[in-house]
A and B are shown apart, each in its own frame.
Chain A
């Protein structure tokens, strides 16, 4: 298919996608609303005039949480973008059915008028002509994420592409987390608006995944200290903090109250994360956030954290064929024995080093 007709936008030529078109109307804001509108638009295009759907179902499709969908859809209805009626599919049906308010949209969102207004005069002078929703957020100037294009022609692709958003971004009651994450990703995605990082962060995540350097939630990142830093002077970059925040979220730890501790006790963070992982694995951790903060402050580490001494010894032992592999606090000898690393260090002390 080289082109398709959008109910709202008319003839669309690929690779233009409807989400992008909607976002142009919204000055690249209100992505959740744009997603809702484009989803409805797709339904209309395929012949469905009224679309019965619940917040939960739409949240699942678009990759947002129910509350987000509820809020934005309610606002769309209030702003007359969308009409809604009781579905009444069955006697006690409490769901609603929705459709785009095409007449109103075409009237108020004439591309020429809007483009002319925004380009020459700015939005402010045309506020009386434009829907309120455009002014809920302050105007920003951002570039479109390079990989954010979503093919509205292919609903399956569209759904699949959007679904990871739910995992990466949205969870009930995690708004503050999102804000923290958003601020951390600012240098990368240049998207300071609340909804923008949902797309751009998703893109970042995909790139990470795709690089097949998959960051595994079970991976012990401390099995080898890849880069040693001077803990007394080293200041973590935003990217490093973002990685830690991601790791903390995987451990069901809210990063926000931990940020200060993470920055202050940066050198203890790996050990603290490992300790929390170990505690969860052993089943005695009721409060991972508290354990993490305490471990950062106290410097307490997991039993399996490899110190630089151990790392140095193992490097030497490996070259001497004393040990072949290491897993946490255990090393494998050439004969296949798994021996505690401390025991091996005692058996083959540093004096043997050349």
Chain B
């Protein structure tokens, strides 16, 4: 496996590392099937007094007590780790040295499912969290940009791993935009630390 670091160039620097072949095709396929069976739900967010469904499915697994405040309005309680997710978590930790307590899954059912510009800066993750993002299924464009900067486009492949290093959430925003292209389901697992809870 080749680690493709983006840190060496002085400017512009992206605080991410992308491993396009983190999982081989077979591993990724098995994990994808496993993830399809997770307990997905379509959460709601409140915006200007309206409650609306988010355009994707989500699930959360993790250590007991690691509750996650979603969109500053919905408190999600994680389900216990499945063996596959725990194994994947340990594998990422072995590679990167970062430890994770929860994993939030996002399922983008079609090109119309998306997530807008945001930073994963929930307080429950502590200051400057490192976040690992495993992509499965269809390839989708992932954009990251410095706040007030220009976006950089990645195409996150089946079985790839993207690490957003500590500090990234403070300085950068990221999104998975909608696309008019015909794309099938993409599952994204984001492993995150959590300051509370216990294993």
Q: Which residues of A contact B (CB under 8 A)?
A: 147, 151, 157, 160-161, 163-164, 206-207, 209-214, 216, 218-220, 223-224, 226-227, 304, 318, 321, 324-328, 330, 332, 334-338
- Contacting pair B153 A336 (CB below 8 A): no
Q: Please, how many angstroms separate the alpha-carbon atoms of A282 and B151 in the complex?
A: 17
- Are B9's CB and A336's CB within 8 A? yes
Q: Provide the bound-state CA to CA distance between A64 and B152, in Å.
A: 37
Q: Is the CB of B20 within 8 A of A321?
A: yes
The secondary structure that dominates the A interface is: loop
Q: Nearest Cβ distance between residue B9 and chain A, in whole angstroms?
A: 5
9 intermolecular pairs with C-beta atoms under 8 Å apart: A151-B49, A161-B48, A211-B114, A218-B145, A218-B151, A219-B151, A325-B152, A327-B150, A335-B5
Q: Please encode chain B, from 1 to 20, with 1 for each CB lying within 8 Å of some chain A CB and 0 for all others.
A: 01011111101101000101
B47 touches A324 (CB 8 A): no
Distance between Cα atoms of A223 and B144 in the complex (Å) = 12
Known: A218-B145, A325-B154, A332-B6. A210 touches B12 (CB 8 A): no
Which residues of the partner chain A approach B55 to less than 8 Å between Cβ atoms?
Answer: 211-213
Question: With A and B bound together, what is the CA distance between A214 and B45 in angstroms?
Answer: 14
For B54, the chain A residues whose CB sits under 8 A away are 211-212
| Residue in A closest to B45 when the chains form the complex, CB atoms | A210
Please tell me if the beta carbons of A336 and B7 are within 8 angstroms of each other in the complex: yes
Q: How far is the CA of A326 from the CA of B20 in the complex (A)?
A: 15
Whether A206 lies near B48 (C-beta < 8 A) is yes
Total number of B residues with any Cβ neighbor in A under 8 Å: 42
Query: Taking the complex as formed, is B199 at the interface, i.e. its CB lies under 8 A from any CB of chain A?
Result: no
Closest to A202 in B: B48
Contacts of A206 in B (CB 8 A): 47-48, 50, 52
The interface stretch among B85-93, B128-136, B176-184 is: B176-184
In contact, B20 and A324 (Cβ under 8 angstroms): yes
Known: A220-B150, A327-B152, A338-B11. A213 touches B116 (CB 8 A): yes
Contacts of A321 in B (CB 8 A): 2, 4, 20
Q: When A224-B141, A336-B6 are in contact, do A324 and B154 touch as well, CB less than 8 Å?
A: yes
Complexed CA–CA distance, A41 and B5 (Å): 62
Which of chain B's residues has its CB closest to A219's CB?
B151
